[in-house]
Structure 1
């Protein structure tokens, strides 16, 4: 409710489910997944009622490979959240290798789930290639994670791993390569949402502003944040 109150009317949220629902949390889970789904659904209701939920983002971990069991689990997630828009981001390369790429995209399309197009380091099985495709015509979602291969492979231990993993600044040339790709997505989807996640060194905002200029897009006004109330 605070998020709704403290953001402008045009603001939209992309919400990630808890890590216990996407496989990031390893080991025994003390609460039944059905109960976790129920709790998560309750938590997003203020955003839903205010019309501020853009989509739910199910981002699966690098070890979540393309197996029958995992396909069924993705399907279960979509069915459980059938009343809401859902985007799916895979991080294991197997989903988009030559054997499964088209089947993966068809699978997402059949579920009416948005395929998350990723720009990220090409670092083996724990990363995915750039796959410019629209599986849900209402929304295309693009995420820029940077191209820090060494940080992606070995981000270190402890709470500071984000300081390394997403430490990257896109060059003019790298951003320019994305202009025709975004135009391709825009021709197939009603809306294209672009997220810069290369935030370890504070480069996301600058890259995002420059990319807006490259696209010739008009910045949306009235989104300046207000001071959030403490109580």
Structure 2
């Protein structure tokens, strides 16, 4: 099974009706896709009340990929806003448990920063994450090429398999050590593909942080590129049971359009969408 969706539901105006554009974007989103990445959890762990509201307000077949809090993956500079590291993980586990209790947790996504390279201490930390999140499906996304170096890539995949981690396959610019190749290998019964765009000039932070964040994911995939992605996704089906594809190229609001185009290429007809705005894209694709 292949599920296609987007990272976040709050910034995709093509999906929203005029009536609900300002108050119920998640509901409108579920009229188009059956999976979404909760990216706000990277910045602050959602409350159980919010998680319950999201779960109860979405169709029964809808799933959430929940991004791990930044303090869990080494992105947070300075001290974590918790008494201990265990307190931080326990707060996140409480949130993830609520998604799981509703049967709507696809997986937890642990995205590591570019400076998290392939060395023994980082392998040990991944094992610590596995121990902490032992009751969850966890996807690992690397942002450092050393994990895919010729002398390490097979060991990396074997390590992910042994520890029951989902390998996150990324389509992104090839811009040096802080980016990873598209490596379509599944290591679990689920696979995650995150589509970041191919804006090689915007991928690196050149000093203007605010502008960099705006342009980093500025990319509109053309039909040929999406067809090639579609072929790679189809070939991955022989390795795994479920494939989740998330488009993250939304700086120019291209993610929803590209995701719809990929669904068309793959002939995906989702069952169980919310009964609203189903035909918005008719005649456009």
Pair in the same fold by TM > 0.5: yes
In structure 1, list runs of 5 or more residues that go unmatched: 227-231
CA distance in 2 between counterparts of 1:108 and 1:144 reads 21
What residue in structure 2 maps to residue 215 of structure 1? 266
Contact 1:164 1:200 in 2 (8 A): yes
**TM-score, with length taken from structure 1:** 0.92
In structure 2, list runs of 5 or more residues that go unmatched: 1-51, 278-285
Contact 2:143 2:180 in 1 (8 A): yes
What residue in structure 2 maps to residue 48 of structure 1? 100
2:191 aligned with 1:150: no
What residue in structure 2 maps to residue 121 of structure 1? 173
CA distance in 1 between counterparts of 2:122 and 2:99 reads 29
In the TM superposition, what is the alpha-carbon distance from 1:183 to its structure 2 partner?
Answer: 1.1
CA distance in 2 between counterparts of 1:203 and 1:187 reads 29
Work out which of the residue numbers 61, 75, 83 in structure 2 matches 1:24.
75
In the TM superposition, what is the alpha-carbon distance from 1:45 to its structure 2 partner?
Answer: 2.2
Q: Number of matched residues?
A: 225
Work out which of the residue numbers 83, 90, 96 in structure 1 matches 2:142.
90
In the TM superposition, what is the alpha-carbon distance from 1:158 to its structure 2 partner?
Answer: 4.6
Q: Deviations over 1:111-141 (max 9, x none)?
A: 11110000000000000001010100x2111
Contact 1:93 1:127 in 2 (8 A): yes
Contact 1:7 1:225 in 2 (8 A): no
CA distance in 1 between counterparts of 2:216 and 2:163 reads 31
What residue in structure 2 maps to residue 139 of structure 1? 190
- 3-state SS, counterpart of residue 121 of structure 2: helix
2:251 aligned with 1:200: yes
* Greater relative contact order (CA < 8 Å, ≥ 6 in sequence): 2
- 3-state SS, counterpart of residue 25 of structure 1: coil
In the TM superposition, what is the alpha-carbon distance from 1:221 to its structure 2 partner?
Answer: 4.2
CA distance in 2 between counterparts of 1:225 and 1:122 reads 39
Contact 1:155 1:165 in 2 (8 A): no
Contact 1:13 1:54 in 2 (8 A): yes
Contact 1:14 1:57 in 2 (8 A): yes
**TM-score, with length taken from structure 2:** 0.75
CA distance in 2 between counterparts of 1:159 and 1:11 reads 33
Contact 2:61 2:272 in 1 (8 A): no
CA distance in 2 between counterparts of 1:30 and 1:191 reads 35
In the TM superposition, what is the alpha-carbon distance from 1:81 to its structure 2 partner?
Answer: 0.6
Contact 2:59 2:272 in 1 (8 A): no
What residue in structure 1 maps to residue 27 of structure 2? none
Work out which of the residue numbers 218, 224, 227 in structure 2 matches 1:173.
224
Contact 1:155 1:164 in 2 (8 A): no
Contact 2:173 2:197 in 1 (8 A): yes
What residue in structure 2 maps to residue 109 of structure 1? 161
CA distance in 1 between counterparts of 2:207 and 2:104 reads 36
* RMSD (Å) for aligned C-alpha atoms: 1.7
Work out which of the residue numbers 190, 196, 203 in structure 1 matches 2:241.
190
In the TM superposition, what is the alpha-carbon distance from 1:29 to its structure 2 partner?
Answer: 3.0
